[in-house]
């Protein structure tokens, strides 16, 4: 009887603890979602009411329907859909380059595992803690000299900045793959490239998806790197286009800006919600002690 009573008490305590955690994390989730909800509300308001009644729901007086979205997409001489195109090109090219190059580099570092490879690995890990502000001025000058200031060449720069996290996660996962699988492929006559693409690459799928999601979300929303590197008279990404959404004498149409912000975050939110389960799998798979 005493043990049964003790077990019931433990179950009640555990249930109460879970309920408390659920409440706490629900509150935290609301706090994080609130700014997005406020942006969505204000995207349907007239500019004046965005400034004065920021947290109020649109009413008959302030509601403007889709006018802010139309104005945001047609404002100025630079087409918004051109910015969407450049952002998409940069995001896809950069992510593909990071996934392929960093997974191959991580495979080499994990399998060779000599002093040189260890130094390179720790340099990649160290790059994650280096603030971007330390290198941004020299980066912009170097990018101009090497002609890396176009949407088709800036992925090379993103490869350098995204390599740290990607190599770290890929290396952890590759160390968990039995070496015997690759040895069997070598016995069957596979060279290094064929072994990678036929044997290693398919097994990297969980980490590939996880790294891809994180890199795409980062590159799609990035403002500072394209702003410093790209020729803004020719190429604008979505964040840069939104920043330039202002009228004469510095007047800013907040309603149109909110509309474009909503438009820009919808693809990322949909993409994240669709693929979020793979993030946990990929991080868990890459968190193997080697």
163-202 pLDDT, tens digit per residue, is 999 999 899 889 888 888 888 888 888 888 888 988 899 8
Q: Is the pLDDT of residue 90 over 90?
A: yes
Residue 290: predicted pLDDT: 44
Task: Identify the band that residue 147 occupies on the pLDDT scale cut at 50, 70 and 90.
Answer: confident
Closest CA to 241 of 28, 43, 86, 51: 86
What φ, ψ does residue 246 adopt, rounded to 5°? -145, 155
- Note the maximum CA span of the chain: 81
The mean predicted confidence, pLDDT, of the chain is 84
What φ, ψ does residue 63 adopt, rounded to 5°? -70, 130
Residue 9: predicted pLDDT: 60
Spatial CB neighbours of 186, under 8 Å, sequence gap ≥ 6: 195
Closest CA to 173 of 39, 288, 33, 21: 288
Residues 6-28, mean pLDDT to the nearest whole number: 75
Spatial CB neighbours of 94, under 8 Å, sequence gap ≥ 6: 154, 155, 158, 159, 162, 215, 219
Residues 59-69, mean pLDDT to the nearest whole number: 85
How far apart, in whole angstroms, are the C-alpha atoms of residue 168 and residue 287?
9
Q: Is the pLDDT of residue 133 over 90?
A: no
Residues 283-287, mean pLDDT to the nearest whole number: 54
Residue 289: predicted pLDDT: 45
Please tell me the least confidently modeled range out of 9-13, 59-63, 164-168, 273-277: 9-13
| Cβ(162)–Cβ(225) below 8 Å | no
Task: Identify the band that residue 248 occupies on the pLDDT scale cut at 50, 70 and 90.
Answer: very low
35-57 burial, b if ≥16 CB within 10 A, otherwise e?
A: eeeeeebbbbbbbebbeebeeee
Handedness of CA 261, 262, 266, 272 (dihedral sign): positive
In the chain, the percentage of residues whose pLDDT exceeds 70 is 88
Please give the model's pTM, rounded to 2 decimal places.
0.84
| Cβ(169)–Cβ(162) below 8 Å | no
What is the radius of gyration, based on Cα positions, of the chain?
A: 24
| End-to-end alpha carbon distance in the chain | 48
Residue labelled with tokens 């170097």: 142
Closest CA to 158 of 101, 210, 118: 101
How far apart, in whole angstroms, are the C-alpha atoms of residue 129 and residue 165?
10
CB atoms within 10 A of CB 1: 5
Specify which of 1-10, 152-161, 180-189 reaches the highest per-range mean pLDDT: 152-161
86-125 burial, b if ≥16 CB within 10 A, otherwise e?
A: bbebbbebbbebbbebbbbbbbbbbbeeeeebeebbeebe
* Domain residue spans of the chain: 17-65, 78-286
CATH 1.10.3720.10 fits 78-286, yes or no: yes
Half-sphere exposure of 127 (CA within 13 A, CB side): 18
In the chain, the percentage of residues whose pLDDT exceeds 90 is 26
Please tell me the least confidently modeled range out of 52-61, 138-147, 247-256, 269-278: 247-256
Q: Is the pLDDT of residue 249 over 70?
A: no
Helix (H, G, I), strand (E, B) or coil at 62: coil
Residue labelled with tokens 């969980």: 206
């Amino acid at each position: 009887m005493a043990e049964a009573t003790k077990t019931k008490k433990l179950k009640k305590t555990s249930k109460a603890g879970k309920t408390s955690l659920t409440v706490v994390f629900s509150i935290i989730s609301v706090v994080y979602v609130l700014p997005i909800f406020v942006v969505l509300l204000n995207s349907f308001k007239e500019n004046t009411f965005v400034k004065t009644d920021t947290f109020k729901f649109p009413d008959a007086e302030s509601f403007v329907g889709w006018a802010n979205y139309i104005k945001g997409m047609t404002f100025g001489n630079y087409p918004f859909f051109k910015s969407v195109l450049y952002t998409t090109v940069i995001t896809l090219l950069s992510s593909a380059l990071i996934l392929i190059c960093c997974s191959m580099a991580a495979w080499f570092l994990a399998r060779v595992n000599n002093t040189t490879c260890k130094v390179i690995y720790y340099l990649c890990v160290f790059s994650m803690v280096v603030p971007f502000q330390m290198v941004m001025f020299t980066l912009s000058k170097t990018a101009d000299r090497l002609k890396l200031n176009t949407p088709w060449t800036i992925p090379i720069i993103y490869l350098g900045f995204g390599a740290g996290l990607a190599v770290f996660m890929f290396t952890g996962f590759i160390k968990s793959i039995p070496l015997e699988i690759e040895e069997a492929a070598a016995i069957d006559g596979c060279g290094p490239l064929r072994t990678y693409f036929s044997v290693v690459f398919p097994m990297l799928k969980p980490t590939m998806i996880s790294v891809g999601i994180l890199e795409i979300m980062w590159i799609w929303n990035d403002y500072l790197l394209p702003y410093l590197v790209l020729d803004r008279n020719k190429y604008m990404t979505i964040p840069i286009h939104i920043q330039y959404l202002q009228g004469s004498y510095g007047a800013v149409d907040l309603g149109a800006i909110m509309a474009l912000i909503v438009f820009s975050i919808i693809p990322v939110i949909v993409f994240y919600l669709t693929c979020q389960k793979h993030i946990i799998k990929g991080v868990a798979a890459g968190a193997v002690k080697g």
